[in-house]
Structure 1
Amino acid sequence: MATSRFAAKAEPKPLYRASLGYRIKRDRYLLLLVLPCILYYIIFKYVPIFGIAIAFKDYNMYRGVFASDWVGLKYFRMFFESPDFWPILRNTFLLGFYKLLFGFPAPIILALLINEVRNSIFKRFVQTISYLPHFISNVVVAGIVVMFLSPTSGMVNRLLEMIGLDKINFMVEASWFRTIYVSTDIWQHVGWGTIIYLAALTAIDPQLYEASRIDGANRWKQMLHITLPGIAPAIVILLILDIGKIIEIGFEKVYLLSSPVTYETADIISTYVYRTGLANGNYSYATAIDVFTGIISFIFIIGANQISKKVSEHSIW
């Protein structure tokens, strides 16, 4: 008896799903490669989250976290009511904002310039030279800055003297601190930041450039209409992440370059936490300030991601 052409088709057999134990055994070498990264985040990122409870307790190291008395939002109110709250928040935000404003475009510009270089030897030389400062310790960088800006023997002041200008004691002038910090940070990390953009540039189809040259587009137009749109996803994602880190300024370099006479512009949240919280043993107060910083950073990154969703096609999630 012939089967009807309208007969239901046999359902396909479900694909074989390997067991978890088999997949772990099969991918054991790949899992070993990623294990150090996983352990890093577990030990240094997730386990310390437990310490947030200290911000809501009158922490006593002899009694421990659990036995310490709950005080609620006492230390948050103490921070908000402190006369130092607005000055250090302003300093932190301005330093992070200037770092974002001038430091974020720098690796993009350098990557575009390197991409236009046709001499491969010179290209690799520039890449290597620009990467090297990233691996220099902040202590060494601070020492170099102090030497270069010395009012007696510094190279910068000697140049000012040669062109007939007065010497400037940069390290004790509060108005110069932000300029010094942002410029040295750009010099230190601009080369390292180009790595992602250069990698994104390699994903652009070379045929697009060939077609644009046939249509008469010069290099400037190729960069505007092909190169920049090609790396736009990487730019947007890194911008969102950097916006989230506006008030998370690193402690080391600021601490090494600042002094009491420059606290007017140099005293930021991290140095304030170290000086008033950790150095004085007030761990609950220091933790409360860090929790506040984390909340603000979280709000910034969520807001930046939502804005990016509305004005462009790219976002983190």
Structure 2
Amino acid sequence: MASYLRIGGAPAPSPARVADIRDAIDLSDPALATTFGERARGEVVTLTERLLAETRAGDLGACAPLLGHIEERLHGLNPSALRTRRGMAGWFDSRKKRLKAFRAAFTSASATMAETAGAIGDQGAGVTRRSRALEVLWAETRTAITELDAYVVAGVERLGHDASQDADHPLTGRLASLVVLRNTAIRQLPLVRMTQNADCELPDRLKSLAEAASTWRAAWREGLGLDRKRPRKIVPDQIGLMRDRDALIAVLEGVRRDLSAAATRRAQAMTRMEKVAESVRRAAPKA
């Protein structure tokens, strides 16, 4: 009976379901060695692979170039460009022309950055969708494991109720292999939680970046006199513009760190999930 011990992690099968399976077992059927619990076995194997595939789809590598694009445009908008040049260069300098050129650069960069921030926000929404999909698969896998448990318990009870059966009955080996399979597959469930936990804060963090970018655009539009139909005559506050830009850069850097940390944790979980999936494939008895 030691070979039938099942590790925890799934609800116990209902006694009624166990009884239905147990009463339908014909110990004289030689096919039990390959077909008993086959539907439940196949479902567990399939769901293990689906969990792995869905987790792989959660890679957020596309965020890095998007963040880099915003950061590059921000660094290209240095308020020091508005500063009056000294010496001979200042003789031919025009504050009005510098402001006009800087406004044009900001307007161009702002438009593309808004699109990029929107794309980053979509990545965050994708994280939420994938987490929900994983949650559904997680629940389905646990249910499938409980169903497989019902077959194992029913088989053990059926063998135990017939004292005339030899310990080497074909069903004995089948049950042992099913237990190995389910004990391996159930290790995938906490790893799914690891991947979900790794990404759980990212949607809000990516959303906060989009909000920070919007706040920056509004502040700079006002600071550059572009907050009306016709640009206002204004002497921009270079220190204030720099402060607003650096605040957005700080948010970008924070998001980048969070993405890197989440990617590391997800990769660790993924490596373990791939090993579990491979072990399930090896452990799965063939019909």
TM-score by length of 1: 0.28
TM-score by length of 2: 0.30
- Structure with the greater alpha carbon radius of gyration: 2
Question: Which structure's relative contact order is higher, taking Cα pairs within 8 Å and 6+ residues apart?
Answer: 2
